[in-house]
Structure 1
Amino acid sequence: MSTLLLRNGRLLDLDNGGEIGDIVVTDGVIVDLGPGAAERYRPDGGPVTEVDLGGDIVIPGLVNSHTHSNQTIEKGLCDALPLDAWMVVASYGGAGARLSPRDLYVSAMVGALEMVRSGATSVLDCARSDNEWVDDGMDAIMQAYADLGFRANVAIQYSDLDFFSSIPVDLVPGGAGLRKPPVAAPDVVLAAANRFVDRWQGRSPLLQPLLGPSSLPRCSTELFEASVETARGRGVRMQTHLLSAASQVPMAQQRYGVSTVEFLAKLDALQEWASFAHAIWLSPEEIELFAQTDAVAVHNPASNLKLGAGVAPVPALLKAGAKVAIGADGASSNDTQNMFETLKLSTILHRVQGPPSTWPTAVDGLGMCWNGGAAALGADVGRLAVGAAADLTVIDTGYVWPAPAEQLRQQLAYAELGSAVRSVYVAGEGVFVDRRFTSIDEDAIRAEAREIAARIWSTLPDRLARFEEVRPILEQVEAAVGGTVGTCH
């Protein structure tokens, strides 16, 4: 058995208030902590790594509960575009970039490096690979996380409906004619997902394959129902997008005859193994229904703001008792993978509406990140406690100054963007120690990423030309649901 001894750290989470103590980790799990824990340890003959933290702060690693690793190299892609228009350029509608398996590896690695530098130890990645090389592409993404030693739940993202079938084009005269039949039968679409699960389920304690039906509007009812049944039958977790645009509200009524959350409840999909990114356009009735379940809503404040998608009803969800996590979302819509930024926005965004008594606090934000993240991943992370995974972030007290517990938590939530992160451990292994990665040549990865970025940007004029072809329809749809289509520079 391998052991990690972290001595003289200020232990801080939602239960520990920053008191000096030690953490003893054996085989990736915390087995003792607190004052004198290192002295209580009895060697068993296995390798021991001992680190004196000298009073630095130890927190549970931040959890990024929703992103898209295939977008990491497309930072700054668009400006002032609403969600549906952005999706044409970024992912769907025939204007997205195609990334090879190696491109996907580098993109996932670059995103993970940014997450680690800003204190994250785990991610739920809704990744998309081109159908032509879907197996190799998904394996490349998983291998990137494996090579870094990062904890990752990776959902293979798929759909069977074309883009115009996912937005209410029938609100526009003649728009319904743009819709095309499903690209393939549900069992054909799910075949790649099942192969992905076959290859990776149980292969590594740090890596979990998930199902990722892209969103309800982009999946036929048959495919989404089959995804839920597959998740339940195979014991696999699932993440999808939920009501991330106003245009999806009328789509639900049109397709299901009930609200989206009511439809999910009928499918028995609101389970602890399911998480739902965005969850913006929920009615009060849907909030109450969602909160009665063990499903997890994932708040993505930065991308929601940038794309003008709306403000998720997080205060109402929390008040109702719903499980809520937070995520950075993809880098072509956010445009960072910095979880401290996400943590801050997840609280202060909601202070423009409602009285102060409804405002999420620093503790609420940390709770969404840690407890909500643990629920989204289905992993015992986000806490400093015996039995929990030793996913730990060490904070330099030259940046975040020792203070009473409340002020320490507020410094983390509001004052930090990652400069204070000294070291990061995942399952007790030092991934980033004294501000250096231990297993990855960061310079080489970033050099390769620059080459990929240059190739991606060379295709941008053609992508934007295809976007302009559909802009008139998008503008009419946006107008019909109360939005506008902006510009992409």
Structure 2
Amino acid sequence: MTTRLLRNARLLDLEHGGEIGDVVVVDGVIADLGPGAADRWLAQAGAAASAAESTDLGGDLLIPGLVNAHTHSNQTIEKGLCDALPLDAWMVVASYGGAGARLSPRDLYVSAMIGAIEMVRSGATSVLDCARSDNEWVDDGMDAIMQAYADLGLRANVAIQYSDLDFFSSIPVDLVPGGADLLKPPVASPDVVLAAANRFVDRWQGKSPLLQPLLGPSSLPRCSTELFEASVETARTRGVRMQTHLLSAQSQIRMAQQRYGLSTVEFLAKLDALQDWASFAHAIWLSPEEIELFAQTDAVAVHNPASNLKLGAGVAPVPALLKAGAKVAIGSDGASSNDTQNMFETLKLSTILHRVQGPPETWPTANDGLGMCWTNGAAALGADVGRLAVGAQADLTVIDTDYVWPAPAEQLRHQLAYAELGSAVRSVYVAGQPVLVDRAFPGIDEDALRAEARSIATRIWTTLPDRLARFEEVRPVLEQIEAAVGGGGASCH
């Protein structure tokens, strides 16, 4: 049994209002909390009391760690990749369409570590990572990403991202003359694609309480109907969670009608895929009927405000989703589209972005933003995190009160949601273990990792001219499609 006593902290979550108290952590789980909790435990512990590690937090704020419910660790080193490109054009340069960078397993390890370090420094304790490894070394690449999270000590759900259709099969190329010439056959049969995903699950399922392998069908348009149906069935029968992308571009409305004869959410409902083990990134172009249908389920939508704004993809109908009772979490998205992994930035944008639409009574509040991050982030992970309560996982972030000043509960939450970007984060614990202590990572050579990341980035940027040349070849078609579907820039209502 391992015990950690965190004394003299201001406890703040959606239930606690900043009162001074202690948190007792036993074997990674909160065993007691509140005024006098540490002394109560010591009085009952007997001989075990001498083995407890005790830390006096000196009145600093103690909050549940932030949950990043959607990102792509393979993009971390490509910050600043693009500017003023809409979603589909960005995808050609960043990932698909023949122009993406290839990262070795070691590159993927470093990229995941650098992204995780940034997340921890901005208060995150857990992440849902839709990671992509080159098919040539998919097993070693995915293992390298998992090992990075293991080495740092972050709680990570990692979805192996896969698809069987070429990028141009995922956009309505039929809208432009000659567009069909870009189409290619499927890259592999569904069973071959899923074989790698099943191997990943075999290697990692149950291996660590902090690491969970997930299925990650890239997006519905980039997966054949057969592959997506097989993914849902595999998730259900194997007891594996799943994350995919949902309606991140307006053009996908047309693709769904062509492919399924239904709206995307209707198709998901038909497959019985809107379950508590499934989460859906973006969820921008939902119709009012799809919002109501989604809200009747336990599935989780993940709002990614920074990347959606940067790529002009649209504004997710978060107020309508929340009003309907849907579960909405928040995520940073990948660093080549956001371009940060800062969850305080994401938390702020998740609320204030929606204040340009609708009357004030519809605006998401700081409490709404924190609830999306903590409560619904926990739902996306399927983990008992995001709250200070007996029985919850001790994923905790210490906030320096020299930066976030003591105040009434609501004002403390306002400061977290609107005034902080990570400078106040002093220490971070995951399952009660210190990951960041007084702004340093014990046992991690951060300087060496950053030096290696710079070397990788230097190599990646040498590939950029060829990638941009490939993009210029297809830019006219992409621009015509963008014009034909009306572009992004708003939600569908």
Residue 407 of structure 2 corresponds to residue 403 of structure 1: yes
Match of 1:106 in 2: 110
**Structure 1 regions of 5+ residues with no counterpart?**
none
Residue 22 of structure 2 corresponds to residue 19 of structure 1: no
- Aligned CA RMSD, in angstroms, stands at 0.9
Q: Bigger CA drift: 45-54 or 157-166?
A: 45-54
Match of 2:9 in 1: 9
1:344-365 deviation per Cα after TM superposition (whole angstroms, max 9, x unaligned): 0000000000000000000000
Q: Name the count of aligned residue pairs.
A: 485
Residue 242 of structure 2 corresponds to residue 241 of structure 1: no
1:237-280 deviation per Cα after TM superposition (whole angstroms, max 9, x unaligned): 00000000011010000000010000000000000000000000
CA distance in 2, matches of 1:468, 1:185: 30
Residue 261 of structure 2 corresponds to residue 260 of structure 1: no
Match of 1:116 in 2: 120
**2:133 maps to amino acid:** S
**2:32 maps to amino acid:** D
Match of 2:143 in 1: 139
CA distance in 2, matches of 1:105, 1:163: 26
Q: Bigger CA drift: 471-480 or 235-244?
A: 471-480
Match 2:350 to one of 342, 346, 358: 346
Q: Is the 8 A contact 1:431 1:439 kept in 2?
A: no
Match of 2:90 in 1: 86
- 3-state SS in 1 of match to 2:39: helix
- 3-state SS in 2 of match to 1:113: helix
CA distance in 2, matches of 1:205, 1:127: 19
- 3-state SS in 1 of match to 2:314: coil
Match of 1:167 in 2: 171
Structural mapping, 1:337-486, within 5 Å: 337-483=341-487
Match of 1:32 in 2: 32
TM-score by length of 1: 0.98
Q: CA deviation at 1:176?
A: 2.0
1:273-331 deviation per Cα after TM superposition (whole angstroms, max 9, x unaligned): 00000000000000000000000000000000000000000000000000000000000
Match of 1:269 in 2: 273
**1:283 maps to amino acid:** S
Q: Is the 8 A contact 1:475 1:484 kept in 2?
A: no
Match 1:212 to one of 191, 198, 216: 216
- 3-state SS in 2 of match to 1:6: strand
**1:263 maps to amino acid:** F
Runs of 4+ in 1 over 2 A off after TM superposition: 42-47
Q: Bigger CA drift: 175-184 or 455-464?
A: 175-184
CA distance in 2, matches of 1:289, 1:414: 32
Structural mapping, 1:308-327, within 5 Å: 308-327=312-331
Q: CA deviation at 1:174?
A: 2.4
Q: CA deviation at 1:47?
A: 3.1
CA distance in 1, matches of 2:244, 2:145: 18
Q: Is the 8 A contact 1:89 1:96 kept in 2?
A: yes
- 3-state SS in 2 of match to 1:373: helix
1:74-111 deviation per Cα after TM superposition (whole angstroms, max 9, x unaligned): 00000000000000000000000000000000000000
Residue 277 of structure 2 corresponds to residue 283 of structure 1: no
Match 2:236 to one of 206, 226, 232: 232
**1:188 maps to amino acid:** V
CA distance in 2, matches of 1:91, 1:47: 50
Q: CA deviation at 1:482?
A: 1.3
CA distance in 2, matches of 1:177, 1:372: 43
CA distance in 1, matches of 2:185, 2:267: 22
CA distance in 2, matches of 1:47, 1:354: 56
Q: Is the 8 A contact 1:98 1:130 kept in 2?
A: yes
- 3-state SS in 1 of match to 2:315: coil
Sequence identity percentage: 88
- 3-state SS in 2 of match to 1:436: coil
CA distance in 1, matches of 2:336, 2:58: 39
Q: CA deviation at 1:484?
A: 8.4
**1:24 maps to amino acid:** V
CA distance in 2, matches of 1:225, 1:483: 29
Match 1:51 to one of 45, 52, 55: 55
Q: CA deviation at 1:207?
A: 0.1
Match of 2:129 in 1: 125
Q: Is the 8 A contact 1:423 1:433 kept in 2?
A: yes
- 3-state SS in 2 of match to 1:41: helix
CA distance in 2, matches of 1:47, 1:301: 45
- 3-state SS in 1 of match to 2:404: coil
Q: Bigger CA drift: 43-52 or 203-212?
A: 43-52
CA distance in 2, matches of 1:439, 1:128: 27
Q: CA deviation at 1:151?
A: 0.2
CA distance in 2, matches of 1:469, 1:93: 10
CA distance in 2, matches of 1:117, 1:185: 41
TM-score by length of 2: 0.98
CA distance in 2, matches of 1:297, 1:439: 36
CA distance in 1, matches of 2:202, 2:96: 27
CA distance in 1, matches of 2:463, 2:101: 8
Q: Is the 8 A contact 1:171 1:480 kept in 2?
A: yes
CA distance in 1, matches of 2:104, 2:190: 25
Q: CA deviation at 1:177?
A: 2.9
- 3-state SS in 2 of match to 1:157: strand
**Structure 2 regions of 5+ residues with no counterpart?**
none
CA distance in 2, matches of 1:439, 1:233: 39
CA distance in 2, matches of 1:165, 1:376: 29
CA distance in 1, matches of 2:419, 2:147: 34
Q: Specify whether residues 21 and 399 from structure 1 end up closer, same or farther in structure 2 by C-alpha distance, changes over 3 A only.
A: same
Q: Is the 8 A contact 1:147 1:439 kept in 2?
A: no
**2:382 maps to amino acid:** G
CA distance in 1, matches of 2:214, 2:275: 14
CA distance in 2, matches of 1:254, 1:177: 18
CA distance in 2, matches of 1:462, 1:85: 15
Residue 336 of structure 2 corresponds to residue 332 of structure 1: yes
Q: Is the 8 A contact 1:300 1:328 kept in 2?
A: yes
Q: Is the 8 A contact 2:313 2:488 kept in 1?
A: no
**1:4 maps to amino acid:** R
- 3-state SS in 1 of match to 2:447: helix
CA distance in 1, matches of 2:178, 2:89: 19
1:123-149 deviation per Cα after TM superposition (whole angstroms, max 9, x unaligned): 000000000000000000000000000
